[in-house]
Amino acid sequence: MKKVLCFLLSGMVMASSCQNKSFGQAGKVSEIRVEAILSGLDIFHNIYVIDSDNRFVKYSKDGVKQQFYSNHRLGAPSAFDLSNPHKIAVFYPDFQTVVFLDRNLTYTSSQDLSELNLPESRAIGMTNDNNLWVFDEFESVLKRIIPGGGIETVSENSWSLWGKNIRPTHLVERFNRVYLSDPEKGIFIFTNLGSPVDFIERKGIVQTEPVSRDLIITTMKDSSPEYYSFRTAAFLPMQFQMGTEAEEIIQISQREGFFLVRTSNKVSLHSN
């Protein structure tokens, strides 16, 4: 039997309606054999991975390799942001450097965060106006950076907001919200103006994939992906049936009717 992923990309999870919906029935588009450390989709459903050689690689929706970017001088990349496929951000934490690439994965510019007195940051992401979000762990505040220009603190100190210091490993802006994932604490949510929205307590979350204002998918540190519904205020495991064991699924990414599934040795794209 094939694995079953029971969630609707409209934003509501209805497990009872998904009992017979397998990846094959949902429509597998492509499958790529690759040992990926991280994977993602852009708005055109192109596939991106960081592979085991620390290369940032782009594939077409059909699974055909297009381009790759490699920068061994900066070490291993830990994150990327595909919000704008014409300005992709790739983060190299060892040197606190964000590299910006065009749609052909050609280098266009970079930003050394240490030059902005940001020596302790692990979470970066693009703003909706093509600038850069960074969470400053030293000051425990969310900051907006204009690459090559200014820096703006947009939130209060997290300790004053929630009584917690945040050490996020992932940051993403969607639906005018900024989501920060801290594996030891949970998900911290701000507006894109820096106002606090919510704190969702849950250990083990390493990445957050907002599907809508009401639903997020989480990549977990030591278990299979889960989803969180704001309507029910509960985490639930993604629903699978027999076949490839659910724990083999490491990460699920979603974009407008398509979802990308990463296991230890492949990524596969499916249509809803």
CA dist list (Å): 108 to 80, 88, 105: 15, 10, 9
Check pLDDT > 80 for residue 226. yes
Asked if residue 266 is part of any domain, the answer here is yes
Contact 240, 267 (CB under 8 A): no
Domain count, the chain: 1
Asked if residue 221 is part of any domain, the answer here is no
C-alpha span between 120 and 136 (Å, rounded): 6
Amino acid present at 156: E
Instruction: Please give the helix or strand (H or E) that residue 158 lies within, else none.
Output: helix 158-162
Collapsed DSSP state (helix, strand, coil) of residue 24: helix
Contact 216, 11 (CB under 8 A): no
- Give every CB contact of residue 41 below 8 A, 6+ residues apart in sequence: 47, 48, 82, 253, 254, 255, 258, 260, 269
pLDDT for the residue numbered 248: 81
Asked if residue 121 is part of any domain, the answer here is yes
| Mean pLDDT estimate for the chain | 87
Beta strand 65-69 with 258-262: parallel, antiparallel or unpaired?
unpaired
Contact 189, 179 (CB under 8 A): yes
Asked if residue 160 is part of any domain, the answer here is yes
Average pLDDT over residues 203-220: 94
Asked if residue 213 is part of any domain, the answer here is no
C-alpha span between 174 and 178 (Å, rounded): 7
pLDDT for the residue numbered 26: 58
Asked if residue 237 is part of any domain, the answer here is no
Check pLDDT > 60 for residue 166. yes
Q: Kindly indicate the confidence band of residue 12, based on its pLDDT and cuts at 50, 70 and 90.
A: very low
Check pLDDT > 70 for residue 245. no
pLDDT for the residue numbered 27: 80
Amino acid present at 166: I
C-alpha span between 144 and 133 (Å, rounded): 5
pLDDT digits (tens, 9 = 90+) for 107-155: 999 999 999 988 888 999 999 999 999 999 999 999 999 877 788 888 9
Asked if residue 20 is part of any domain, the answer here is no
Domain residue limits at 123: 32-208+247-271
**CATH number of the domain encompassing residue 58:** 2.120.10.30
Q: Supply 71's token pair.
A: 């920068």
pLDDT digits (tens, 9 = 90+) for 46-69: 999 999 999 999 999 999 999 999
Asked if residue 5 is part of any domain, the answer here is no
